[in-house]
Structure 1
C-alpha cells in the first residue's frame, strides 16, 4: 500500500498530471460534486460516496486491501 495523501496533495497530484476533477470522477465512477467536496475538505469520506471518492483519491486506505 502506498502512502496516503492529504486532500491538498491529491488535488496537486491531479493538477500535476493534467487530470480534471470531473474527468477523475467519471473515470472512477464517482459523483463529481462529492469528489470536489472531499478534495475541499467539506466531506471527510467517512461513508458512502464520499468514502469511495476518498479511497480512489488515495486520501483513505482501501479497507479491502488492509484486511
Structure 2
C-alpha cells in the first residue's frame, strides 16, 4: 500500500468538517497531535506504516504524537513538518541566505 500523503502533509481529509472546506486544511494552519492521531484512526492507517512509508522511524512519530518531543531539530522536525504539526522553514540552511540581525 502507498501511504504517501499529499502536500501539505495529508492534503485531503475525507469526511472531516474540522479541517475546513472540502476536507482540506489551509497550509498555514498547524495540526495538533490529537488531530493527527484522529486522522490516522479515521483513515485506518497505523502510525508505524505511515512512518515507514514516509521514511521516518516510527519511534519518532510516536514521540511527536505523545508530546515526548516537539520536533525542533533534525528527523523529528522533518516528521513534524510531514505530519502538518509544524510549518515548513521559511529560509534555507545556507548561511549566505540566513536573515541577519542588523
Match of 2:50 in 1: 24
How many Å apart are 1:3 and its aligned residue?
2.3
- Structure 2: distance between partners of 1:38 and 1:16: 19
The number of residue pairs the alignment matches comes to: 65
Length-normalised TM-score, structure 1? 0.87
Higher helix residue share: 1
Match of 2:85 in 1: 59
Structure 2 residue ranges without an equivalent (≥5):
1-26, 92-102
For the pair shown, the structure with the greater C-alpha radius of gyration is 2
Structure 1 residue ranges without an equivalent (≥5):
none
Length-normalised TM-score, structure 2? 0.59
The DSSP-based 3-state class of the residue aligned with 2:77 is: helix
- 1:22-45 CA deviation, whole Å, 9 max, x = no partner? 011011100110110001000000
Relative contact order, CA 8 A, sep 6+: which one is greater?
1
The DSSP-based 3-state class of the residue aligned with 2:60 is: helix
Superposition misfits of 4+ residues, deviation over 3 angstroms:
none
Match of 2:30 in 1: 4
